[in-house]
Homo-oligomer: A and B are copies of this chain.
């Protein structure tokens, strides 16, 4: 949560800046947005987000204003500073070093030969269905975006272009995953 060296922030920090760059929000709203089903490309629980926001504030990347909130503590609304915007802007065009790929389902496919054939087929069929459902959700999101924003989705200077870009990735990834699961299930049930 705190930085290792000058200019070195964990990816979560940039994820928060990327959301805040679209407009100020509270920590709670950020946490909601970054939770499991919603966070399309980066997720974090609130226990990671609150300390990270505090660290960003200590370094002048965000500012907060507190009104009194419903709970025992004040509700804080965060906004990006110019320094934060510059940090984000620089980070966006740097190439990340490749992340480790870790997929438990692929690992199971690698060991599928040790298991009962029918049970294994059922696993991949179930995975296929789960990803088909997820795909349908994303397609619904795409329709909504398309209806609401139309041609602006193709303009890379519009914030909504970012939503569209990430959604396109999600759609492609889910379609490919469904395809592979279906292939696996077919292989195992012949």
| B15→A109 contact, CB < 8 A | no
A146 in the interface (beta carbon within 8 A): no
Contacts of A115 in B (CB 8 A): 89, 92-93
A123 touching B93, Cβ below 8 Å: yes
Across the interface, do A180 and B156 meet the contact criterion of CB distance under 8 Å?
Answer: no
Chain A interface bracket (under 10, 10 to 19, 20 to 34, 35 or more): 35 or more
Q: Determine whether A51 belongs to the interface, using a CB cutoff of 8 Å to chain B.
A: no
Is A99 an interface position by the 8 A CB rule?
A: yes
Q: Which of B21, B99, B109 contacts A162, CB < 8 Å? A: B109
CB of A131 to closest CB in B, whole Å: 9
Q: Which residues of A from 1 to 27 have beta carbons under 8 Å from B?
A: 11, 14-15, 17-18, 21
Min C-beta distance of A113 to chain B, whole Å? 5
Provide the residues of chain B in CB contact with A42, threshold 8 Å.
101-103, 107
